[in-house]
Structure 1
Amino acid sequence: MNIILINKEDFLSKNTVCISDSRLVHIRSVLKIQKGDSIHVGITNGSMGEAILTGRDENADFFSVNCSVPPPPPVPVTLVLALPRPKVLRRILQAIASLGIKHIILVHTFRVEKSYWQTPFLSATALREQLVSGLQQAKDTVLPEIQIEKRFRPFVEDRLPLILQNKRGYIAHPYTDSSLTICHNKASVLAIGPEGGFIPFEISLLEKAGMYSFSMGPRILKVETALSVLVSRFLPF
């Protein structure tokens, strides 16, 4: 954890914050700060800065906060992601948040088991927990938006074309000969299927919506590995 996110409900006054939940364990057991010490903080969906420990009791720490530094720029990618296995989902959400993607669309595909949609990891609280973990790792404050699409065809035919307006669309597909050109800092939509890939019918629908299929080479990668490799192509440098 390289930054502590603070929320509006943590503020006692304009510049005074009280932390008394699970973040307190990290502050006391890992950071081990004492009165007068400072830590890196960020206001959720806001600016970043420092907080100085001004007081402490048995159940809470009190900080004076000064946040004026903007968060890092987002990666200009909308990620369309076939819903992963529940245990993998948590890791992937943390990775997505830490990489700087701010719009995630979780979709159902032929190779996604319907039971995946019943996982408690899709609750609003569980999703936020993983996203916050990724942001705190990467020193970012802006929570990604998550969109749930349980019906693939209506999403691709009715909503995806609007999302693609003024963006380039790419489909990670291991069974094509086309490669991905460098697209740094270009507004894009990136679709990544399950580990078995999208089926041909799904590829056809995505391409009709205006997306382009490409291959990363002969190796079949796990979703979390492919995600990290692909998003690096879109980083703003």
Structure 2
Amino acid sequence: MEIFSVIWNQYLYIPLFNFLIWLYLTYSFYNLGIAVILLTLALRLVLLPFTILAERGKIISRELTKKIKEIEKDFSSDPIKKRQAVRKFLKKKRIRPWAKAIVLVVQAVVLILLYRVFIGGINTESKLHLLYPSIPRPDFINTKFLWFDIAQRDLIAPAIVAGYIFTQIIIKQWRKKDELNKKEQIYGILFPAFSFAILAVLPAVKSIFILTSLIFSTIITTITTLIILTAKNTKNKSNN
């Protein structure tokens, strides 16, 4: 446990706190909300290779759903062989489900770290003494962003996040409306509601982080899809 504590504090929490304050002092116009957005974007850029792999896998998975269903049907009586066949098929198509897991885990860790940064207040001696000598110590850290204080709870910010999630789910469900089942319909309502309920009791900084990350993901998904589909169409035309 002591080793874990050292790793958590010395190699995760303190560096992230210093990076956040550095962003606040240099590129955020002394606005911590902007600093959190920049921190989120920096994190997503670092994770971009994994994000692209995950998005590529999602596109291929949609195309291969029919084939996987055939495999599951052929090996319905033998779960072990079914898993092996599916895994072999996915490997052949270079689908890497671990890429998405890495992105999600890293973001979850940063969310926890951000919670620790803001819990108990950020303008405290216990926090500011963690700054590296190379980081100037601010007299006061401004946590006001737009209409709210990101260090406090807010209902509008979580509502925006929930609305964005709901919109994305509706768009995805509309694309496959003919195959939509009852569970997916319920999910489309409950997940945004659950997200709102959780974020509403947490500091608004969580909502900023998640919303920024979601928007980034949407942009990357759109760009990746266009590139892959364009390349595929070009290849098909050249083959014809």
Task: Give the shorter-chain TM-score range.
Answer: under 0.3
Q: Which has the larger radius of gyration?
A: 2
Structure 2-normalised TM-score?
A: 0.23
Structure with the largest fraction of strand: 1
Structure 1-normalised TM-score?
A: 0.23
Q: Select the structure with the greater relative contact order (CA < 8 A; seq sep ≥ 6).
A: 2
Structure with the largest fraction of helix: 2
